[in-house]
Amino acid sequence: MSQRLVLLHGFTQAASAMDDLASRIRDLTTDIEPVCVDLAGHGSRSDEALDLVAGADALAETHGPAIWLGYSLGGRQSLHLAVHRPDAVHGLVLISSTAGIDDDAGRQRRREDDERLAARIESIGLDAFLDEWLAGPLFADFVDPPDVAAARRSNTAAGLAMSLRLAGTGAQESLWPQLSTIDAPCLVVTGASDTKFDALGDRLAASIPGAVRSRIDGAGHSAHLERPAEAARVVAAWLAGRA
């Protein structure tokens, strides 16, 4: 029987941004059924106002149980599934992810930053915001493939602002103290050039029992988009050998 692999995109993206990775993984595996879905506040779910805990419940009820592959925001959502809905999690693949901000002061500063960014989205609109967002340090050296660019433009300013306020890194609880409770097989992937998230990836892998660590050379934050063949190979090899 095929095992469902649910792919969760990053902030400002939508389900179709993960289609290429899903297709590559399908070609490299024999018992995996990849499914790409929209997160709350994005794509077809732009009107859904859910934080990461409620989002985990919604995804678990609709698509679980499954292996969950999440990138950035999708990775944080996947970790919430593993902590709050372990019954729906048969495995985790975390790409460029974090378990949140440890200290209250840092989390409050991030909440304030996220609120300013949300207000900025509402003020200047989707297209102008995406131009600014993609010019930032995480993405400045990479140009979206056409399908990813189209996925971003399928969103709404209101939906993205809502996502930041409810599911941004400032809004979420820190999951670091709870990672030791995760018993699902886990793969942690980062781009070697993404200094911040590469260090976070090391910490995630050290905190989740039995986690497998992989980094992709020549890639930054969007490792699965920058080096899609290598990312698919790494994920497929882990899927084939998972416990």
**Each residue's pLDDT expressed in tens, for the chain with a length of 243 residues:** 789 999 999 999 999 999 999 999 999 998 999 999 999 999 999 999 999 999 999 999 999 999 999 999 999 999 999 999 999 999 999 999 999 999 999 999 999 999 999 999 999 999 999 999 999 888 878 899 999 999 999 999 999 999 999 999 999 999 999 999 999 999 999 999 999 999 999 999 999 999 999 999 999 999 999 999 999 999 999 999 874
Q: What is the CA radius of gyration of the chain?
A: 16
Q: 49, 166 in Cβ contact below 8 A?
A: yes
Which residues span the domain enclosing 236?
A: 3-241
Considering Cα of 224, then 226, then 228, then 230, what sign does the dihedral take? negative
Whole-number Cα distances in Å, 19 to 57, 175, 192: 23, 28, 23
197's enclosing H/E stretch is helix 195-207
Total domains in the fold of the chain: 1
* Beta-ladder partners of 6: 35, 68
Q: Tell me, what's the pLDDT at 242?
A: 73
pTM beyond 0.75: the answer is yes
* CATH assignment of the domain containing 78: 3.40.50.1820
Q: Would you state the structure tokens that stand for residue 29, as one six-digit string?
A: 């595996």
* Beta-ladder partners of 214: 189
